[in-house]
Each structure stands twice: as structure tokens, then as C-alpha cells.
């Protein structure tokens, strides 16, 4: 009898492909289920355990859904533009296109070897012209709507590599590649106006079935803050500036103001004798990233400009300082400092000996940062902070020196990159006509192959004569193309739309089709994209909706983040630590189903954990055992001997475990709780094995149980189950013969579950490791035996010595091991 191994994998992968088993049925959209896993970028280091943990278990979930009658759409593709390929090219001289094409080939093969239900007819590769043509189209639509614009902005600059860096390439303030300190440089850049959608992005988030942590990260990133803008006049001058504050009730306690070093007023306000100090401070702060500047623990520093401002509420003169804890990119780039009631101001005032005056009564110690009652605030004394805020703003309004104001932390999305390996921005610059969008019928603007892409500070495309020189679509005179390319996050901000209509050569997608196919019903991927990809996609969906292309508001109805698979040492896998796990090796040894099942049984899906070779071995042993039991049951059915037709005690017990497994595998898998689902399959294996020892067997029940068993295991071990199904049904040429994935998912019979039973917890050294259901009324010894033979528990106690087993009847078993 063929033992399960990679040849079984290959056999069924071939057949699935030949018969196009997983082709999505576009004519049956009523029961469509769009299951999406974050696509990966093609990398030379191939599919790692993390990819597998994302794709394998979700594929299992999707398979169950398919068997439950859903028309599952599960596409796959590649996020193929971007820095990894370009950096690899710079290091090795291999053109990004060549390495990308090669890597995609390898990864496609690996993905196919996984045996997932991907519908490859909908594959997309973002660096292919038939995809990025439409990324460019998207950019033009945004431009048309005023949602794409150009402005001068400070960007990360590496003086050694001579290039702009994406934020993600700045690690602790240094260049990821050469470790040189990153500075800021002002460059004219393209932005997408995500801030137009700040309110909706915030409001709608609560309606989403997303992890709470991710929702709150997005909320924080959007950072809505309500307060007031207050105008301070500069003493002996016509100048004035605004500050943003959330605590206008503390206005009487302002003892100085601080401007961000980049604030354009600084140069005007700095008096001659402070010039030198201010200039050197400004130069120093240029080197700091915004993240460092906001760090709570970092020492607050600043210098005095020599000028004074007037507090609008009481006319007091206060010094104007600059300090890098004030960001130029938030609020107005200026703050009123209230040392008695703000941590940072308190630290600053203490350091520079500036006055600290309490204006809010509350706790004893300063700084007191809570709300309280206003004191030392003239006519406002006695008001609560809430009342005071309103009253003070009202007064400021009457003076024309302030008003209510809402601020967002969210900034517009900077999408231009001075990089080669990306989609060219479809814009032409004409001396006469200015910024001219490339007409739609001239798309794609093709990324040329022959370009010197080693970074030297200028956009590589600017050096390609044949690319950069063109004619203006408006006036026909010579003009230049935009030389920057788009951030790869633009490519991935709409890929889930294109999948649904991947081969459309006329349009980005067909409106009618896409509105039936979307939103994505289940999206699974890493949490690191919380404030980038997941936010950008929401924005693009809303923007396209407002242009009339989509009739839904949110792209991803339900989102799950899988956990992280760590190295055997419990550390994050990395090549330098030498603790990476190569899926390919394990798969060739055990078969892809064992690899997948270990990932699903050995870890809680949303938690992940450390890889264990012992763990995968024990799953391999389980699959072995399961195969032996299924084989022997099938052989008994084929032999057709010692048959009986009654349902006696043993039949009832087998039938119980059969339906118990159906019930719980279904409900646990539904919520992606695969480890406990597989534990139920282990129990069913035991029950079946036990029944196989009976002389007389009810073969009808046996076949029904076997049938359900194979269906239940099919999502978790697809090749294995397809083989088992084929062995059981190949002689019958009916609907059952191929494939198990065309079968109906079993339903449990609640009558079969009526049994006097109790749930008990099994502990190991006092820690709960599993819960099992056992018949009530078992003897203490029988309970012990159940606990020690539990598959989940066996894994934990293997190789250890059981010192003692304590049974508390009806509640728990505690196994003490050494």
C-alpha cells in the first residue's frame, strides 16, 4: 500500500491542475467567497515558513468553505516592484527584471507544491505592463480628482549612497544599506491626499471585523485630536504665529513658546546675537528623525531666539524658543508651553530655568497633566477644564485670536521614489503647459530595461534619454517625462480589485463584475502592514467609490493576522542567526501535508511560536497512524466479512466520536482555531482504531465514518485525503469518485452526541494543556488512561518521566512530569 509521501503530493497536484479543479466559477457569484492572503514579493530566498504559515492554514479554511458550498475565489500573485529586487541588483549586477522573473518562477513552483487551491488563471504580477498600466491609470484618476498633487517636502536622504530612502529603509536613524546617518532633504514630491479621508477612515473602522489591536493602531496613526488654535503676536513686530493646543484651559500658565527648528519664522525672529546658536541647533536637529524627536525619554533641548511673544489672554510677554521636540509636520509647528501641566514642557522648563506656574488645581505634584479646576486664571477661575476650554475659546474668538480646531496625525502619502524598479509616474512636464497627465490611451508608460540604476542622487529614469524625452500631449512641443517611480505600496493598494478581473485588457476592471466579487470576505496576512498597506487600501477603495467605480466602502470585511513562526531557539528567524527553517527540506522528507498539518496543529494560528523538529516528527507519526487505521478500515469494507447491522455499544461509541469530530472540527476551523480541530481528528483516529479491533463490525457505519473522516481531514491534508478518497471510491464511477473537494462537508447529528459525558481539563505540572470530553462515570484509572493517551498530551510528555497523575473527578487531571 502506498504510504503517503511527496509522490502522492505530485500525483494529485498534477491531476488538480489537469482537471482545473480550483478554477473559480464566474457564473455563480451568489455564493462567492473571496479569500485572500497577502501576496509576497519575489525574493531569492524563496518561500519561508512565514509564507507557509500564512498560506497553508488559510487554504485549509478555504477548502472547508468550498466543501460547505461556497464558490471560493482564492487568487495568488506577486508584489514584484520595489527595493529588495533593486538592492539585490545593485549588489550583484543582475537586472531587477531578470532576477524577479526568475524568483517568481521558483516561488510559483513552491506555491504549487504547497497544493493550495490558488486559481492561477487570475495571477497578477505587479511589475508586468498589463498590471502597472492600470496602476498608472489609478494614479491618473486620483490626479483628475485632485487627490494626487506635487509639493516640496523634506525626505530621508543618505549622503553616502547619495539617494532618497523610503521610511522603511531608515533603521534607527541610519541607512539600512550602509549604516550612514540619514538626513533630511527638501525635494518636490508626489503625494496622495489620504488626509481627505481621515474622518471616514476613522469612523468606519469600528464596523470592521478586524483585530482590535490593528484597529487601534490605525486610529492612533490617523490621530484625530480636538483642541484650539491660538494666535500669539510677536512683540514689537507685525508678525504673529498660531499654536495648536488640546489644553487651552491652561492658557494662563504659558511661560514660553517653542517653535519647531524648521518653522520658517525662526530665521525672521532670531536676533543677531542668537543667530550662531540657533543655526547650529537647526543643523543638529536636521539629523534627527521625527521618531527620535518624539521619544519621551530623550532629553528635551532648545535655544532662545532673542524674541518675545504676547499671550493673547493676559498680555504677558513670554520668550520664543526653538526646540526639536516640536515637530514641523504636526499642528502649526509651534506650541505654547505650560510646564506645570505638561511632561515635556516641565522637563524643558526645569532644564532652562523657565517659570513654572500652576493654573489647574488637582493632584499635589507637578506636572499635573489631568483635568481639574482653573486657578490663577482671572475671570475663568473656578471653571472645570471642560468648561474652561469652551469659555477661553469664546473669549479668544471675540478677540480674533483663536478658534476651535481639529488636527490629524495622518499625513498625505508620499508616493514618488527616486528609484528605478517601480511603475513610472504617468506625468509629462512641459515648459509651456506645466504638469500634463499622460493621456489614458498612451498607457502604459513603459519602464525601460536599459537604465543605469545605481543610485547617485538623481532618479535613474532621468538618465535614460529615450525615456525622459517626449512630446507634450497638449501642445506637441518637446517635453520631459516624470522621472520618479511610484511607491510599491501604490501597486498593492488595489491588487485585490484586479485579481477579480485579472485578464481584462480594456479596463482596470469591469465595474459590474467587481462589485459582485468584492469586498474580500477574508483577508489574512501579517500585522506589520497595519498603518501602511491596510490603510492605503482602505483609502483607495473609498476614493474609487467616490469616482463611481465601486459600490462598497471597505475592501476587507474580515481580517486576521497569523502569528509568527520563530526559529527553534525561540528567536525571530534570520539568516545571520542561522535559525531559519527551510520548508522545502521538510516537505521532501515528510510530504507537504505533514508540513502543513504541523503548522496548524503545533501553533495557535494567531500566536505562532517556536519551530520544533520533534513537533513535526510527531505529526508525521500521527499521519502514519491515521493512514494505517484508514487503510485497515477500508480493507475491512472491501473484504465485506463479519458484517453486522445493529448499533450496539461499540457502534454508538464510534458514531459518537464521528459526530463529535464533525461538530468541533467545523466550529473550531470556522474561527481558524486549527490546532484543536486537528486534536479532534486524532481522537477520531483513536476511536476508529479501537473499533477496528472488534470481531463483528457494522460495515455500513464503518463506511459512513470513513467517508466523513476523509472529508474532515481533507482541508488539513489535501493530498493525503484525495488519495484516501480515491482508494475508497475509485471503483464507483459516480459523483463520488473525484474529487473529495467536490463533496459536501459533513453535518453532525446531535442525537449521536447525546451521551453522558463531562469535559475535563488536563494539566501538566499544573498548567492546562488540553480539555477533553470523557464519558461520565469512568473510574479514576480509566480517566488517567484517557488523559495519558490524549494525542495533544502525548506530545508534551514524550521523553519525560511521569511522576504522578492526580485525578479530580469530573474536573481535571494533573500530570506531574520530570
Residue ranges in contact with Zn ion by CB under 5 A? 430, 432-433, 472, 474-475
Q: Which of 153, 338, 393, 597 binds ligand ANZ (CB under 6 A)?
A: 338
Residue 407 interacts, among Zn ion, ligand ANZ, none and using kind-specific CB cut-offs from 5 to 8 Å, with ligand ANZ
Q: Answer with the entry of Zn ion, ligand ANZ, none that 225 interacts with (C-beta below 5 to 8 A by kind).
A: ligand ANZ
The residue within the footprint of ligand ANZ, chosen from 113, 222, 335, 717 (CB under 6 A), is: 335
| CB 232 within 8 Å of CB 580 | no
Minimum distance from residue 475 beta carbon to Zn ion (Å): 3
Which of ligand ANZ, Zn ion, none is residue 246 near (CB under 5 to 8 Å by kind)? ligand ANZ
Q: How far is the CB of 811 from ligand ANZ (least distance, A)?
A: 50
* For Zn ion, the closer CB: 384 or 435: 435
The residue count for binding ligand ANZ (CB under 6 A) is 18
| Ramachandran angles phi, psi of 750, nearest 5° | -65, -25
What's the Cα-to-Cα distance from 414 to each of 155, 170, 190, 192, 536, rounded to whole Å? 9, 15, 6, 7, 11
Would you say 241 or 691 has its CB closer to ligand ANZ?
241
311 binds ligand ANZ (CB under 6 A): no
Are 178 and 161 in contact by the 8 Å Cβ rule? The answer is yes
- The smaller minimum CB distance to Zn ion, of residues 474 and 513, is found at 474
Phi, psi of 470 (to 5 degrees): -150, -170
Q: Which is nearer to ligand ANZ, 233 or 755 (CB)?
A: 233
CA pair distance 456, 337, nearest whole angstrom: 43
Work out how close the CB of 250 gets to ligand ANZ at its nearest, in angstroms, rounded to a whole number. Answer: 4
For residue 685, give the DSSP letter.
H
Residue 333 interacting entry, from ligand ANZ, Zn ion, none, C-beta within 5 to 8 Å by type? ligand ANZ
Provide the strand spans (E) within 169-314.
170-171, 174-175, 183-192, 224-234, 240-245, 256-259, 302-310
Residue from the set 65, 282, 341, 358 that interacts with ligand ANZ by CB under 6 A: 341
Task: Report the residue from 82, 96, 333, 555 that binds ligand ANZ according to the rule CB under 6 A.
Answer: 333
Binding site listing: 575
HEC letters along 269-287: HCCHHHHHHHHHHHHHHHC
Cα-trace Rg, the chain:
33
Q: Is there binding between residue 342 and ligand ANZ (CB under 6 A)?
A: yes
Binding partner selected for residue 247 from Zn ion, ligand ANZ, none, CB under the kind-specific 5 to 8 Å limit: ligand ANZ
CB of 381 to ligand ANZ, least distance (A): 17
Asked if residue 326 binds ligand ANZ (CB under 6 A), the reply is yes
CA distances, 712 to each of 629, 691, 734 (Å): 15, 19, 21
Q: Is 336 in the site for ligand ANZ (CB under 6 A)?
A: yes
Cα–Cα dist 453/90, whole Å: 8
**Annotated binding-site members for ATP:** 575
Residues 221-280 binding ligand ANZ (CB under 6 A) are: 225, 244-247, 250, 260
Number of continuous H segments (helices) and E segments (strands) in the chain: 26, 33
CA 681/CA 627 separation, integer angstroms: 12
Burial 433-447 (b: 16+ CB within 10 A, else e): eeebbbeeeebbbeb
Give one word for 168, left, alpha or beta, with left for phi > 0 and alpha for psi -120 to 50: alpha
Using alpha carbons only, what angle is made at residue 493 by residues 63 and 140, rounded to the nearest 5 degrees? Answer: 140
d(CA 254, CA 34): 56
Binding mask 178-207 for ligand ANZ (x = CB under 6 A): ------------------------------
For ligand ANZ, give the closer residue by CB, 281 or 489.
281
Nearest approach, Cβ of residue 448 and Zn ion (Å): 22
CB under 5 to 8 A by kind: which of ligand ANZ, Zn ion, none does 430 bind?
Zn ion
Residues that bind ligand ANZ (CB under 6 A): 225, 244-247, 250, 260, 326-327, 330-331, 333, 335-336, 338, 341-342, 407
Amino acid at each position: 500500500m502506498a504510504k503517503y509521501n511527496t509522490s502522492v503530493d505530485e500525483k494529485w497536484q498534477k491531476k488538480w491542475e489537469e482537471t482545473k479543479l480550483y478554477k473559480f466559477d464566474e457564473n455563480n457569484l451568489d455564493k462567492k467567497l473571496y479569500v485572500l492572503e497577502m501576496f509576497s514579493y519575489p525574493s531569492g530566498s524563496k518561500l519561508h515558513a512565514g509564507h507557509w504559515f500564512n498560506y497553508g492554514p488559510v487554504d485549509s479554511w478555504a477548502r472547508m468553505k468550498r466543501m460547505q458550498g461556497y464558490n471560493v475565489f482564492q487568487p495568488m500573485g506577486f508584489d514584484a516592484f520595489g527595493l529588495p529586487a533593486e538592492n539585490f541588483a545593485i549588489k550583484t549586477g543582475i537586472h531587477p527584471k531578470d532576477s524577479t522573473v526568475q524568483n517568481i518562477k521558483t516561488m510559483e513552483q513552491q506555491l504549487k507544491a504547497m497544493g493550495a487551491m490558488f486559481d492561477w488563471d487570475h495571477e497578477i504580477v505587479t511589475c508586468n505592463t498589463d498590471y502597472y498600466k492600470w496602476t498608472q491609470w489609478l494614479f491618473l484618476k486620483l490626479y483628475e480628482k485632485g487627490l494626487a498633487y506635487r509639493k516640496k517636502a523634506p525626505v530621508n536622504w543618505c549622503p553616502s549612497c547619495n539617494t532618497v530612502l523610503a521610511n522603511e529603509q531608515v533603521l534607527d536613524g541610519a541607512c539600512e544599506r550602509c549604516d550612514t546617518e540619514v538626513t533630511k532633504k527638501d525635494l518636490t514630491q508626489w503625494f496622495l491626499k489620504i488626509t481627505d479621508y481621515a474622518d471616514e477612515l476613522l469612523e468606519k473602522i469600528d464596523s470592521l471585523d478586524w483585530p482590535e489591536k490593528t484597529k487601534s493602531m490605525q486610529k492612533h496613526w490617523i490621530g484625530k485630536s480636538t483642541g484650539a488654535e491660538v494666535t500669539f503676536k510677536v512683540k514689537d513686530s507685525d508678525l504673529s504665529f498660531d499654536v495648536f493646543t488640546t489644553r487651552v484651559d491652561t492658557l494662563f500658565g504659558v511661560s514660553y513658546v517653542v517653535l519647531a527648528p524648521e518653522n520658517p519664522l525662526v530665521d525672521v525672529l532670531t536676533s543677531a546675537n542668537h543667530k550662531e546658536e540657533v543655526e547650529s541647533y537647526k543643523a543638529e536637529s536636521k539629523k534627527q528623525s521625527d521618531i527620535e524627536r518624539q521619544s519621551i525619554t530623550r532629553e528635551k533641548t532648545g535655544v532662545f531666539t532673542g524674541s518675545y511673544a504676547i499671550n493673547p489672554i493676559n498680555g504677558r510677554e513670554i520668550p520664543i524658543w526653538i526646540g526639536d521636540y516640536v515637530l514641523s509636520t504636526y499642528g502649526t509647528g509651534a506650541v505654547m508651553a505650560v510646564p506645570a501641566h505638561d511632561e515635556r514642557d516641565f522637563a524643558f522648563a526645569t532644564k532652562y530655568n523657565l517659570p513654572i506656574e500652576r493654573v489647574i488645581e488637582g493632584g499635589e505634584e507637578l506636572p499635573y497633566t489631568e483635568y481639574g479646576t482653573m486657578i490663577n486664571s482671572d475671570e475663568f477661575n473656578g471653571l472645570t477644564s471642560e468648561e474652561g476650554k469652551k469659555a477661553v475659546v469664546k473669549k479668544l474668538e471675540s478677540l480674533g485670536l483663536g478658534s476651535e480646531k481639529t488636527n490629524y496625525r495622518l499625513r498625505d502619502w508620499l508616493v514618488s521614489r527616486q528609484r528605478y524598479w517601480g511603475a513610472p509616474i504617468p506625468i509629462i512636464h512641459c515648459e509651456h503647459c506645466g504638469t500634463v497627465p499622460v493621456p489614458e490611451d498612451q498607457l502604459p508608460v513603459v519602464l525601460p530595461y536599459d537604465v543605469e540604476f545605481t543610485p547617485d542622487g538623481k532618479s535613474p529614469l532621468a538618465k535614460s534619454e529615450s525615456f525622459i524625452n517626449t512630446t507634450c500631449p497638449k501642445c506637441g512641443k518637446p517635453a520631459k517625462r516624470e522621472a520618479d517611480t511610484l511607491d510599491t505600496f501604490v501597486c498593492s493598494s488595489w491588487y485585490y480589485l484586479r485579481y477579480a478581473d485579472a485578464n481584462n485588457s480594456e479596463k482596470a476592471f469591469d465595474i459590474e463584475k467587481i462589485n459582485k466579487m468584492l469586498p474580500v470576505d477574508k483577508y489574512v496576512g501579517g500585522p506589520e502592514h497595519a498603518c501602511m498597506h491596510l490603510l492605503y487600501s482602505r483609502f483607495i477603495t473609498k476614493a474609487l467609490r467616490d469616482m463611481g467605480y465601486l459600490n462598497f466602502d471597505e475592501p476587507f470585511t474580515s481580517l486576521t493576522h497569523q502569528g509568527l513562526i520563530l526559529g527553534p531557539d525561540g528567536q525571530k528567524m534570520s539568516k545571520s542567526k542561522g535559525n531559519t527553517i527551510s520548508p522545502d527540506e521538510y516537505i521532501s522528507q515528510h510530504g507537504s501535508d505533514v508540513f502543513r498539518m504541523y503548522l496548524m496543529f503545533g501553533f495557535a494560528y494567531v500566536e505562532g511560536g517556536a519551530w520544533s523538529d520533534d513537533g513535526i516528527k510527531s505529526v508525521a507519526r500521527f499521519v502514519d497512524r491515521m493512514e494505517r487505521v484508514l487503510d485497515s478500515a477500508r480493507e475491512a469494507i472491501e473484504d465485506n466479512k463479519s458484517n453486522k447491522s445493529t448499533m450496539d455499544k461499540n457502534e454508538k461509541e464510534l458514531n459518537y466520536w464521528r459526530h463529535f469530530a464533525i461538530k468541533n472540527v467545523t466550529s473550531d476551523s470556522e474561527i481558524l482555531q486549527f490546532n484543536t480541530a486537528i486534536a479532534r481528528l486524532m481522537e477520531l483516529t483513536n476511536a476508529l482504531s479501537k473499533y477496528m479491533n472488534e470481531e463483528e463490525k457494522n460495515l455500513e457505519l464503518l463506511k459512513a465514518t470513513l467517508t466523513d473522516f476523509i472529508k474532515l481531514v481533507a482541508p488539513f491534508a489535501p493530498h493525503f485525503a484525495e488519495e484516501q478518497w480515491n482508494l475508497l471510491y475509485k471503483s464507483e464511477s459516480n459523483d463520488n469518485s473525484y474529487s473529495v473537494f467536490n463533496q459536501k462537508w459533513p453535518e453532525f447529528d446531535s442525537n449521536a452526541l447525546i451521551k453522558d459525558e463531562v469535559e475535563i481539563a488536563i494539566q501538566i505540572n499544573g498548567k492546562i494543556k488540553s480539555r477533553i470530553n470523557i464519558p461520565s462515570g469512568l473510574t479514576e484509572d480509566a480517566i488517567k488512561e484517557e488523559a495519558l493517551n490524549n494525542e495533544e498530551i502525548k506530545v508534551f510528555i514524550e521523553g519525560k518521566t511521569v511522576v504522578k497523575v492526580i485525578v479530580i473527578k469530573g474536573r481535571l487531571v494533573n500530570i506531574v512530569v520530570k
